[in-house]
Amino acid sequence: MEILDIVDDNDKIIGQASINEAHEKGLRHREVHVWFYSPNGELIWQCRSKNKELYAGFLDATVGGHVSSGQIPLDAAIRETGEETGIEVGAKDLQLIRKVRSDSSDPSNGLVNNVFRYIYAYPFNGKLEDLRIEEGEISHFEIWKISSLVSLTKKQEERFIPILLNKESLSIYREIQNLIKRGGFGHVRALENR
């Protein structure tokens, strides 16, 4: 069972707990998201496996995971990217977009996810088929135009983890759009087969 650092409202470590305990008690911890974006203004979303504890079957960030106890967020983002997509990245490949405080709960099971989430962007010029699916964690990947996220139908909205379509999240996607416009593809690595 993975142990997480528990943090206070200023993101200072105040203790440790298991993932299960953090979600059952709503203890604030750290997570990372890595958003793969294309030169065509698209984001890649993962569809969470049906057996996930939180938000099973919903669309989520390309890569998402917990920051283990004693680990820094950037190292967690690098580790999770390799595990969830098969793409090997280094510190220079990821750009920190923002750190956000997020409080959410999954109504289907009552679990609480109170976090500080470190959000990174990664320029990806491959195809969805190039991404390796982590068994038991992800069912598949989908690609969506960033511009389409502001005009989804109700049925489309229901496919996403709700917090990922709020105002703050939409502003993060706009930041990624701006990164693309500024030529944020200068440091793309070739895909590595695993």
Residue 101 lies in a domain: yes
pLDDT tens sequence for the chain (194 residues)? 899 999 999 999 999 999 999 999 999 999 999 999 999 999 999 999 999 888 899 999 999 999 999 999 999 999 999 999 999 999 999 999 999 999 988 888 888 999 999 999 999 999 999 999 999 999 999 999 999 999 999 999 999 999 999 999 999 999 999 999 888 764 433 333 22
Domain count, the chain: 1
Residue 134 lies in a domain: yes
Question: What's the Cα-to-Cα distance from 177 to each of 37, 53, 96, 146, 163, rounded to whole Å?
Answer: 9, 31, 14, 7, 19
pLDDT score of 14 = 98
Beta-carbon contacts of 1 under 8 Å, excluding residues fewer than 6 positions away, are 18, 19, 20
> Within 10 A of 108 (CB to CB), how many other CB atoms are there?
10
Nearest to 96 by CA among 116, 113, 112: 116
pTM: 0.90
Residue 65 lies in a domain: yes
pLDDT score of 185 = 60
E-assigned strands of 106-186? 112-123, 138-145
Residue 43 lies in a domain: yes
Residue 64 lies in a domain: yes
Residue 189 lies in a domain: no
pLDDT score of 193 = 28
Q: Which long-range contacts (C-beta less than 8 Å, at least 24 apart) are formed by 78-85?
A: 80/32, 80/34, 81/34, 81/122, 83/134, 84/46, 84/134, 84/137, 84/138, 85/36, 85/131, 85/132, 85/134
Q: Give me the CATH number covering residue 115.
A: 3.90.79.10
pLDDT score of 54 = 82
Q: CB burial class (10 A; 0-12, 13-18, 19+) of residue 62?
A: buried
Segments forming the whole domain that contains residue 73 = 3-181
E-assigned strands of the chain? 3-7, 13-18, 29-37, 42-48, 59-60, 63-66, 95-105, 112-123, 138-145
Residue 187 lies in a domain: no
Residue 88 identity (one-letter amino acid)? E
Nearest to 146 by CA among 127, 162, 130, 169: 169
Residue 191 lies in a domain: no
